[in-house]
Chains A and B, each alone.
Chain A
Amino acid sequence: MESVFVYRNPEPAPPGDGTLAGLRVAVQPNISVTGWPTEAGSRALERYRAVEDATLIRRLRTAGAHLCGSTRMSEFGFGLEGSRAGESVALTEADAELVLDLMGECRAAGLRAGVCAYKPSYGLISRLGLIGLIPSMESCGILSGSVDVIRRLLAVMAGPDGLDFSLPEEPVPDFSPGACRAAAVIGVLAEARDSLPETERRAFDSVLGEIESAGFALRELSLPEYALFPLVHGIVGSVEASSSAGRYDSVRYGVRAPGAGNWNDMYLESRREAFGLVVKSYLLQGAFFQFKRYGAYEDACRIRARLLLGMDRLLGQADLLVLPAPGAAPSAGRLGEVLASFDPSMFANVTGQPVLCLPADEQGGAGFQLAGARRGDARVLEAGERLLNLRGRE
């Protein structure tokens, strides 16, 4: 079987006493580390080696973390086809792994590998040096066995970056457990629960019991438009992806189809070879919305506004929300199936809210997602850590 890693750092762990000293962090090859192969799982970046460190990598180095290697990933991190994300942690080859979360990939990888997965609030971590696909939705996720490791990594990576133009100018919140009022009321989103098939609903209900016995009050909440999250993600995400992928022109890097007589054909043929079928279908969906149904993109952005308000309302009625974990992503398949498997996790990419995803435990407790308000990362991590500790004790 192929190695989990596509590249291992030959250098030894750096000496030093930073806050992350001794911590081994694996990345995926869509995060720029100077000199490392950074093909983002795509022939569009074939043979590309990063020419400078991503901002978050620079911060990890400064804090003393050991960048131990990069792991096999899906094309542009979209879906999990060909991805081995999470295994480096499960195999204890790394203490944490960074995986881009475009529609729930980081969380799905965590569930698959049986480790905690965290998608931070949108706008906390600089995206400079990350090879992304959906700029307004993707966040750099963190996989680890320990919520505390996640918290420490987040604290190092978060913060303003004048070179990332999409990063808001907001102060960095304090992520430590005592920094916020601990969650007391956890909302259950009825529409998410009711969408589950019978057996999964029963498993989810036992998670709810677990939460209640941990001392949280449960409150049933309703967001009638919950089903529109995949719709918004599907349109906005594909439009942004099709725009972002315009940069893959076979000029500065990537596969170049031979023999093109002119510029147009060079693009057409090189990009025919550059993209796999799932990504290609997605990019052409984006082109469809841009060139044929531009109104649909505007409509999706309007619905996105409504969903943001709806989610705000829910988080006024409960401190956190609990939602079922996404199902297993297909290891191969057509675009429609890939997208559908992420339906339960897309909401957080649409709204930019933080989500901690706990995996199923050995005693049969199902995995689930714990979501908070954007920038309420400390509260999500604190409650998640409490629940994880309880599970460990049983």
Chain B
Amino acid sequence: MRFSQRVFCGELAAGDAGRAVQLAGWVDAFRDHGGLLFVHLRDRSGIIQVVFSPEIASAEVCRQAAGLRAEYCIAVTGEVRKRREGTENPNIETGGIEVMASGLTVLSESDALPFAVSDKAMTAGGASARREAVSEELRLEYRYLDLRRAPMRDNLVARHRIFQCVRRFLDSRGFIEIETPVLTMSTPEGARDYLVPSRVHPGNFYALPQSPQLFKQLLMIGGMERYFQLARCFRDEDLRPNRQPEFTQLDLEASFVDEEVLYGLIEELTVEMFAVGGIELPRPFPRMTYEEAMETTGSDRPDLRFGLRFVDVTDVFPGTGYAIFRRIIEAGGCIKGINVKGQSGRLSKNVLQNEYAKEIVPSFGGRGMTWMRAEGGRLDSNIVQFFSADELDALRRKLDVADGDVLILIADASRKTVTSVLGQLRLHLAERLGLIPGGGFSPVWVTEFPLFEATEEGGVTSSHHPFTAPDRTDFDPKNVGELLSLRSRAYDLVMNGEELGGGSIRISDRDLQRKIFAALGLGEEETREKFGFFLRAFDFGAPPHGGLALGMDRTVSMILGTPSIREVIAFPKNRSAACPMTGAPAKVKREQLAELGLLNLGGTEPLRGTGGDGNLVDHLSWVSRIGVGAGERPAVEEALGQAEELAAAAGRNAGTEEPVRTVVPVANRMRPGDEARRSELAESGKLLESAPEVKGGYFKVAGILE
């Protein structure tokens, strides 16, 4: 078989009529009209109708064509012709033409499919048919078939286009693509590393990079000036719905730049990437300090597609008659409010009091919520009588209240609680009231993050990483209060409430770096051990530099509007960080562990219950959680001796029969009914009656950990 003349199905057009072509691809669908066979042939470019007619094709070709089934891989030769009027198929791009086959080669056959590949909407008259729902687990197990389907194919093609756009753009701005190692040292990113054991250095491990952070900074010190990489990064994090243990980030670093240069560059790049998906982003992107974001949206990644910003109204209520507010203000707390414009029709007293105040706000960690509805020129609420007319007037002015508005106030002695609760309420209300415009995109730079966060031990830790530059350098590394007031030169790019990426201007001055380590409480010895090779590089003329990393899976997913990032990754892991197709992660042979020196790691002290060499009674007692008293030991030891004899005798006498575990036919049963329900015995409390300890309607047990 030669494919030199092959053309792509989706690229044929009316102008090709009369042309002899060779096509290759998969049988998407077929219809047999009594001797006349219509096949939808699909390759990556699209679909074309191929007609096998006894008037054109030989009897042998027609006979072979009659045996075609879905997803057979075939090659066809034939002639393009315009379809007869009235037989066009508007559902496929090549619907005005078809190929009259003269030759057919079946390249390989297909088994029955675990799910349909063909999009039925493509066949004529099938425009209304919906794609059948296939479970994601099954799609992942047969990902290669899933990739043949149009949505995945389109997503991967679009991903490629976006990646190409990144490369072209950055190349045009003088960035060069450099690969950094995947087998490396642990980097200070805060998540768990994936470790790779070294065979030649038994007991030693490489770490897979959580990001190429150190290497990209070393590239700057190495004079590369402008670097980028579409880097694979690895984080062994707890499972979260939209995370992957490995992900792709656009990693970028530049020397002799400041924030403004990077903002401009990244904005241009982002605009171009989103343009691939037909999305226009306005420039410049707005900016918001961390403090403003927290104080007005309760989040460091604010969703700015809708309003509902918080307004601080603490100063409306000094010396108020409403005792709850007065006590909170006296305790140094604050009161913030949201004006939900024109929604009083949908937020009734009942909803506000019984749902929001009683259920939703407590579930967000709030202690209480105050609401007011503006109607007939006045504010109405269950507690409005506690406020003076002046207070209510001031509130109306501050929150710009008109009839039909609903005010929601949260007051708490802790400012953090106020913003956190209101932040969750803001999203909840926007979602519930449909305030988020579809198809809208609101980028924002969040800036001026705190450089440090307080630790429980009274010290500080880096909010980002210890190489982030502070906003000023004249601080006292021993003054915790001052350290906590420092801002960093870090910035996050946030879109629609999701963090697409972030970065910072780095520290390039070695004295400043030492000061930061001193603030973190890391001694000379410890810093040398952790970052020695890295810090040494700063002794040789490090240039000022900064950069950023963008999560590409998330960015592409947002541009394409897919429900999860798995839709834009060819072979993703599932929600349990496993691959249903390959079965990874999997157990390995003991021999392999032995070769890697992994059998006896962690010292000679065996973990409780794993001690193969320990006392047999102790071991079994622990694994079955049955204590054995000293007086009981002789009898138990005797029994275990007998068990050993039984095991040996079983080994001598066993044949090759299939093991029998039950003497009756196995019956598969489902409990009647299809809804989960609480047992009546639990409902009535009867189940608890025999329990040794009960607390508050539950079985009481010891803590899992001490």
Residues of A that sit less than 8 Å from B by CB = 47-49, 51-52, 122-123, 136, 162-163, 165-170, 225, 228, 231-232, 234-235, 238, 242, 250-256, 260-269, 271-273, 275, 277, 280-285, 287-289, 291-293, 295-296, 298-306, 308, 334-336, 351-352, 374
Binds A, one of B512-520, B533-541, B634-642: B634-642
Cβ-defined contact, A238 with B643, below 8 A: yes
Within 8 A of A (CB), among B639-672: 639-640, 642-644, 646-647, 649-651, 653-667, 669, 671-672
Binds A, one of B226-234, B426-434, B621-629: B621-629
Asked if B620 CB lies within 8 Å of chain A CBs, one says yes
Contacts of A168 in B (CB 8 A): 664-667
Residue in A252, A265, A289, A334 whose CB lies within 8 Å of B702: A265
Known: A266-B702, A300-B650. 18 other contacts (CB 8 A): A47-B690, A49-B689, A51-B689, A168-B666, A234-B643, A238-B643, A252-B690, A260-B702, A262-B704, A281-B638, A284-B640, A291-B623, A296-B647, A301-B661, A305-B659, A305-B660, A335-B639, A336-B639
Residues of B that sit less than 8 Å from A by CB = 616-617, 619-629, 632, 635-636, 638-640, 642-644, 646-647, 649-651, 653-667, 669, 671-672, 681, 686-687, 689-693, 699, 701-706
Given known A123-B664, A252-B690, A272-B627, contact A305–B658 (CB-CB < 8 A): yes
Cβ-defined contact, B647 with A267, below 8 A: no
Q: Could you list 8 A-B pairs, sorted by A, with CB under 8 Å?
A: A170-B664, A252-B690, A268-B621, A268-B625, A268-B627, A281-B639, A302-B655, A302-B660
Cβ-defined contact, A281 with B651, below 8 A: no
Cβ-defined contact, B636 with A284, below 8 A: yes
Contacts of A51 in B (CB 8 A): 681, 686-687, 689-690
Contacts of A285 in B (CB 8 A): 639-640, 642-643
Assembly CA distance A231 to B643 (angstroms): 10
Min CB distance, A120 to chain B, in Å?
13
Cβ-defined contact, B659 with A252, below 8 A: no
B691, closest chain A residue (CB)? A252
Given known A235-B646, A272-B627, A282-B639, contact A122–B690 (CB-CB < 8 A): no
Cβ-defined contact, A231 with B627, below 8 A: no
Cβ-defined contact, B699 with A251, below 8 A: yes
Residue in A136, A269, A280 whose CB lies within 8 Å of B632: A280
Min CB distance, A241 to chain B, in Å?
11
Given known A123-B664, A167-B667, contact A271–B626 (CB-CB < 8 A): yes
Contacts of A163 in B (CB 8 A): 671
Cβ-defined contact, B689 with A252, below 8 A: no
Assembly CA distance A295 to B652 (angstroms): 12
A135, closest chain B residue (CB)? B662
Given known A281-B636, A299-B651, contact A162–B643 (CB-CB < 8 A): no
A232, closest chain B residue (CB)? B650
Interface of B is mostly: loop
Assembly CA distance A175 to B142 (angstroms): 53
Contacts of A291 in B (CB 8 A): 619-620, 623
B703, closest chain A residue (CB)? A262
Contacts of A334 in B (CB 8 A): 635, 638-639
Contacts of A242 in B (CB 8 A): 624
Contacts of A166 in B (CB 8 A): 662, 664
Contacts of B693 in A (CB 8 A): 256
A257, closest chain B residue (CB)? B627
Residue in B640, B643, B691, B702 whose CB lies within 8 Å of A263: B702
Most A CB atoms within 10 A — which of B622, B635, B664, B706? B664
Residue in B626, B655, B666, B672 whose CB lies within 8 Å of A306: B655
Assembly CA distance A391 to B23 (angstroms): 92
Given known A162-B669, A253-B691, A268-B625, contact A288–B620 (CB-CB < 8 A): yes
Cβ-defined contact, A277 with B635, below 8 A: yes
Assembly CA distance A296 to B651 (angstroms): 6
Contacts of B687 in A (CB 8 A): 51, 252
Cβ-defined contact, A266 with B626, below 8 A: no
Given known A281-B635, A283-B626, A334-B635, contact A234–B661 (CB-CB < 8 A): no
Most B CB atoms within 10 A — which of A122, A255, A267? A267
Cβ-defined contact, A262 with B706, below 8 A: yes
Contacts of B628 in A (CB 8 A): 272, 280, 284
Given known A49-B690, A235-B647, contact A287–B624 (CB-CB < 8 A): yes
Cβ-defined contact, B703 with A263, below 8 A: yes
A164, closest chain B residue (CB)? B669
Contacts of B653 in A (CB 8 A): 225, 228, 231, 299, 303
Residue in A231, A335, A374 whose CB lies within 8 Å of B635: A335
Contacts of B665 in A (CB 8 A): 168-170
Assembly CA distance A298 to B660 (angstroms): 9
Cβ-defined contact, B702 with A352, below 8 A: no
Most B CB atoms within 10 A — which of A165, A263, A268, A280? A280
A252, closest chain B residue (CB)? B691
Cβ-defined contact, B646 with A280, below 8 A: no
Cβ-defined contact, A304 with B672, below 8 A: no
Most A CB atoms within 10 A — which of B654, B656, B663? B663
Assembly CA distance A225 to B663 (angstroms): 18
Contacts of B623 in A (CB 8 A): 287, 291
Cβ-defined contact, B690 with A268, below 8 A: no
Residue in A231, A254, A262, A287 whose CB lies within 8 Å of B646: A231
Cβ-defined contact, A261 with B702, below 8 A: yes
Assembly CA distance A351 to B664 (angstroms): 10
Contacts of A52 in B (CB 8 A): 681
Given known A281-B635, A374-B663, contact A165–B669 (CB-CB < 8 A): yes
Cβ-defined contact, B643 with A136, below 8 A: no
Cβ-defined contact, A262 with B702, below 8 A: yes
Contacts of A238 in B (CB 8 A): 643
Cβ-defined contact, A262 with B632, below 8 A: no
Contacts of A288 in B (CB 8 A): 616, 620, 640, 643-644, 647
Cβ-defined contact, B639 with A296, below 8 A: no
Given known A52-B681, A271-B626, contact A251–B686 (CB-CB < 8 A): no
Contacts of B639 in A (CB 8 A): 281-282, 284-285, 334-336
Min CB distance, B629 to chain A, in Å?
7
Contacts of B663 in A (CB 8 A): 122-123, 136, 308, 351-352, 374
Q: Which 9 A-B residue pairings sit nearest by Cβ, starting from the closest?
A: A272-B627, A301-B659, A299-B654, A296-B647, A256-B692, A267-B625, A352-B663, A281-B639, A299-B650
